Chain A
């Protein structure tokens, strides 16, 4: 912690002003993103300041009955974020997102915290919260890409799915092509990330540890652990989400219920 630079609000303001770059691009290229940029910028600042205060309090008041609900809340928010993507949705998509993210992230997170890092007490917020957070962030990307791809493949490939069923394919035989594509699509971001980590990108956690004075060699060890936790959790999450989507859209009597796939805008209009 030799010469650690504390940031003042003025320093933050200087960095935040960079959003003007994006705004100028949006105006120059007529992207129509100004409103979304502004909202995104405000959210970044507000959410992070808020979590800073919350974490400060939780770390100081370290009790399992505070840590667990906070982690549950983070998980649910991740589930909501994951289900907001894609042109098509179906009734129950949000529940499927939450369930698949919850199951995979907590399972792998528990392995990382209890078996690998062995934290004490078992709910140690300083470890549990950021590590779960990193797992959640990546799993939600995988899950949302997986569900999005699955619904897209089933929409575009409806004729092929029904052809398979009509020939006598079981529902799984008819769905496995799209399901495989969807799982691949959901896992590829993590694989890409693992391929370039350290070369192109220095992950945030590692950067943070180094900035805080930790030796790079220790920081790297943590990062390796995290990368594998992320890979496993998002892999499990994607498979879980795709299987849940499949179960919603294919009935047990080997039918593809294409009418359950609805366009998001159409649903909004109807509501």
Chain B
């Protein structure tokens, strides 16, 4: 079993953020293995990309790290510790998962940006319209972006809105599940720029970017992994 963890290749391997320990995922219905036993550690300051053919288990792996699907074996740790059930929402606040197809709620973009603050996990946080506006402008959106109806957004705009919804919450880790796969090049660049600005704002942040586009993986990441038939391949450059 190849160990995908190679701290030597990362710039500051000191702080361990998210780690998978012998994580296995099986198809709930058929029982086939989707992800073979996988060890992986994401350190602060790392930008990792996972590439591989579709259906190889990239999303499965990312969803497992986000604890959206239960592991059939192994476990995920956060800063070296196992995550208690009651702490899972708090963990997901720190480790944000972005799906390939953004899910928008009814209402305006601003309504969507307000939604997280209705959740218990964010009791201590408050919506800041200026922050949201700044992020939207950084993504090349017009100032009226927040007032647009979510149902009127293009695919690219919706993904930008979904990303702003997460970035305004200042997570420590981003798990990006092919966020630009179905977007036009301009929108894809905006997404990349947003993530890049978020990453540069704090040295202790880290992200994993799943992509089937090698070109993009080279642009957005400094640590490169591959996924093939449920096996996470070691770091390559």
Contact = CB atoms under 8 A, between A and B. Distances in A.
A165 to B, nearest CB: 6
A139 B43 CA distance: 55
A94 interface: no
Contact of A168 (B29, B69, B92, B98): B92
Nearest to B88: A254
Interface size class of B (residues with CB under 8 A): 20 to 34
Interface residues of A, number: 22
Q: What 5 pairs between A and B have smallest CB-CB spacing? A: A159-B103, A259-B28, A168-B121, A163-B103, A168-B93
Most A CB contacts (10 A, CB to CB) among B66, B88, B118 go to: B88
B96 A166 contact: yes
B70 A255 contact: yes
Interface of B: 28-29, 66-70, 85, 88-90, 92-93, 96-99, 101-103, 105, 115-116, 118-122, 162, 165-166, 169
A115 interface: no
Contacts of B102: 163
A170 B91 CA distance: 11
B99 A170 contact: no
Given A253-B70, A257-B28, 8 more contacts: A163-B99, A167-B93, A167-B119, A253-B85, A254-B92, A255-B70, A259-B28, A259-B29
18 contacts: A163-B162, A164-B119, A166-B97, A167-B93, A167-B119, A167-B121, A167-B166, A168-B93, A168-B119, A168-B121, A170-B89, A170-B121, A173-B120, A252-B85, A254-B67, A255-B69, A259-B29, A260-B28
Given A170-B89, A173-B119, A173-B120, A159 B69 contact: no
A159 B101 contact: yes
Interface of A: 159-160, 162-170, 173, 251-257, 259-260, 262
Contact of B92 (A159, A167, A252, A260): A167
Given A167-B116, A168-B116, A160 B101 contact: no
A173 B89 CA distance: 11
Contacts of B120: 170, 173
Contact of B103 (A160, A170, A256, A262): A160
B105 A160 contact: yes
Given A166-B68, A168-B121, A253 B88 contact: yes
B96 A167 contact: yes
